[in-house]
Amino acid sequence: MATYKMLIDVDKCTGCYSCFLACKDEYCGNDYPGYAASQPARGHYWMRLDSRERGCHPKVKLSYIPTPCMQCANAPCIAAATDGAVYRRDDGIVIIDPEKAKGQRQIVSACPHRVIYWNEEAGLPQKCTFCAHLLDRGETEPRCVETCPTGALLFGDADDPDSAVSKALAKMQTETLAPEFDLNPSVIYAGIPKRFVAGEVVLSDAPDECAAGVSVALSGNCGAMETVTDAFGDFEFEGLPAKTDGTITVSRDGYKEKVLDINTRLDLNLGEIVLEKA
Ligand code: SF4
Ligand code: SF4
């Protein structure tokens, strides 16, 4: 018996919506008895893309976070159901039984990730099944994974050390979405956006030139790190925890050092930092 995991690399997701459309193609108008009833064409997002915008003009970053059902080991949707209408298979897939779950609207609100959708016409809660009907007939991936053109979605048997997903999980820095929910999910993430601190350095005696190669150091409760400005005089510290307090120190021989206090309650663009001649 396999233990299925999905690894979602947010850095590779371009927000093309191919996964969402593949899910619609697989489930809209198609019944899979025992697995899922037909998905309505509108209002359901079994493979949802949550967009996250960070920073402000002129330093803005946009990420897409594919968000299917997390197939949790500690699934509150199972606890909320009566008559065993939601259950977890030995391979880790959580199934909402399309017959037993009829009328059980309380299942929808049990999911903290809000990935269960109510089918008004059928009176049924519905969600992603990892395409269990395909896996059970020998296919190796859900439709969304098969369709993704960038490799942002990886899927496979985590018990098989030679599977692509096992190898990726072993070498990548991974995390879960909203770990505070404590659901022990089978969907694992890499590259979930964190905070960044960015800025641009300008030398007072050469304001029209890009100040490349200037040392910039960050120190604070997340530790210490260093970088240098790029060919445009820009610098950036990415992937910082949301509650970083500290300082940014900008220095170059022959110029007065500049120290700025920072905190990362929000992403920070420090704008233009001018170094005066010493
Ligand atoms: Fe249930 Fe939500 Fe976990 Fe999916 S993500 S298993 S719907 S609690
Ligand atoms: Fe992102 Fe892949 Fe989905 Fe496109 S198909 S939105 S790249 S996960």
Tens digits of residue pLDDT in 161-199: 999 999 999 999 999 999 999 999 999 999 999 999 999
Query: Residue 10 burial by CB count (10 A; 0-12/13-18/19+): exposed, middle or buried?
Result: middle
Mean pLDDT of 82-109: 98
Name the pTM for this structure.
Answer: 0.91
- What percent of the chain stands above pLDDT 70? 100
How far, in Å, CA of 14 to CA of 75, rounded?
29
Q: Which atom of ligand 1 is nearest to the CA of 77?
A: 1
Ligand approaching nearest to the C-alpha of 184: 1
Whole-number Å distance, alpha carbon 234 to ligand 2 midpoint, is 30
What's residue 100's pLDDT?
98
How far, in Å, CA of 217 to CA of 140, rounded?
47
Q: Does residue 56 surpass a pLDDT of 90?
A: no
Q: Label residue 1 by pLDDT band (50, 70, 90).
A: confident
Ligand 2 contacts (CB < 6 A) are 13-19, 49, 64, 66, 147-148, 150, 152-153
Query: Mean pLDDT of all residues in the chain?
Result: 97
Q: Which atom of ligand 1 is nearest to the CA of 88?
A: 6
Ligand approaching nearest to the C-alpha of 185: 1
Q: Label residue 203 by pLDDT band (50, 70, 90).
A: very high
Q: What is the CA radius of gyration of the chain?
A: 24
Query: Residue 72 burial by CB count (10 A; 0-12/13-18/19+): exposed, middle or buried?
Result: buried
- What percent of the chain stands above pLDDT 90? 97
Ligand 1 contacts (CB < 6 A) are 69-72, 75-77, 94, 111, 113, 115-116, 127, 183
Neighbours of 251 (CB within 10 A): 15
Q: Which atom of ligand 2 is nearest to the CA of 15?
A: 6
What phi, psi does 104 have (nearest 5°)? Answer: -90, 75
Q: Label residue 225 by pLDDT band (50, 70, 90).
A: very high
β partners of residue 217: 226, 249
Mean pLDDT of 223-238: 97
6 Cβ contact partners less than 8 Å away, ≥ 6 residues apart: 68, 71, 130, 142, 145, 153, 154, 155, 165, 186, 187, 188
Whole-number Å distance, alpha carbon 24 to ligand 1 midpoint, is 19
Q: Does residue 57 surpass a pLDDT of 90?
A: no
Whole-number Å distance, alpha carbon 252 to ligand 2 midpoint, is 43
Q: Does residue 14 surpass a pLDDT of 90?
A: yes
Residue whose CA is at the smallest distance from ligand 2 atom 2: 148
What's residue 230's pLDDT?
98
Q: Label residue 47 by pLDDT band (50, 70, 90).
A: very high
247, containing H or E segment: strand 245-251
Ligand approaching nearest to the C-alpha of 71: 1
